[in-house]
Amino acid sequence: MAKKRIGVHVGTAGGCFTAVQRAADAGANTFQIFSSSPRQWKAAPVKAEDAAKMREARARLDVNPVSIHASYLINLCSQTESVRENSVDAFRGEVERALALGAEYLVLHPGSWKGLTREEGLRLAAQGIERAIGTLGGGVKWQDHNFRILIENTAGAEFSLGGSFDQVAELVATLQACAPMGVCLDTCHTHVAGYDIVTTEGYEATMRQVGETMGFDAVKVWHCNDAKAPMGSKLDRHEHIGEGTIGAAAFKRLLHDARFEHAAFIAETPVDDPGDEMRNVMALRALSAGS
């Protein structure tokens, strides 16, 4: 991507394709959406005309890549079989809708392994993704799609799979054979999980760990969120850019980090008032432009 891609999570009222103009109006040239309600298991398939409208609008407005965030209900490593089965079906639907819309990325939280060991949770999550991919109608030729499943790091809460870079890297490595994989890193999650991205020395130490575990090229998206809670708190509470415990300087450092020139930077910040999407996009743009 020649231009730095800075965007925001936007709504889809009126159809998924409306998100493109909504993102552009906020000053974004990339965006993230939910392809269906994130709190319902069942979802309708994408309408062909809606997908065509999204592709046309993206090309006209130069808005890319598109990231879809998978439903919050999905828990592929649940100890409960019925939840795992519902999660596999729901994730299969997420992949189908992402491919239909031409989205480049599908971001997934693997889930909670409460009641199991971490190793059992990792195995079940990997098996769930493999099952969902393996049962896509007619099979999928991945080489025909510019698409990746991105495993997102979590805030480090007990039993949450993906709370460490090691866990994210292990899951990605396990699944490389069944689908194109990558990583989405969240600044708030990273911070509250106990990784220092605030101090200059801490940032470099944290990035060394990124490089040694998943590798810089694997990180396709950064969710740019300031944090309401302190480092190491494991509390996932997002704040407006520059107004939380991470602070503007850390985002400026990240946006200027040449190791992530290829990545998209997408805010998932609060929408407390009209215009907050643009407010946070503009904050990131200003930090990106500064020397």
The catalytically annotated residue of 94, 96, 152, 170 is 152
Catalytic residue among 223, 240, 279, 285: 223
What's 165-188 look like in SS3? HHHHHHHHHHHCCCCCEEEEEEHH
- Which residue in the list 72, 208, 217, 262 is annotated as catalytic? 72
In three-state secondary structure terms, 194 is: coil
- Exactly one of 94, 104, 170, 186 is catalytic; name it: 186
Known active-site residue 268: yes
Active site residue 236: yes
Scanning 3-151, the segments in alpha helix (DSSP H) are 18-25, 48-61, 81-101, 118-134
- Asked if 154 and 121 count as a contact pair (C-beta separation under 8 A), the reply is no
- Catalytic position from the list 22, 92, 131, 189: 189
Q: Is the CA virtual torsion 190, 191, 192, 195 positive or negative? A: positive
The identity of residue 281, as a single letter, is V
Active site residue 9: no
**Marked catalytic residue, from 109, 240, 279, 285:** 109
Q: Is 240 a known active-site residue?
A: no
Q: What tokens appear for 110 in the block?
A: 């693997």
Helix (H) or strand (E) holding 221: strand 219-224
Look up residue 271 and give its amino acid. V
State the Cα–Cα distance between residues 256 and 268, nearest whole angstrom. 20
- Verify whether residue 69 is a known catalytic residue: yes
22, 69, 148, 191: the catalytic one is 69
Catalytic residue among 104, 236, 239, 277: 236
**What residues are labeled active site?**
39, 69, 72, 109, 152, 186, 189, 223, 236, 238, 268
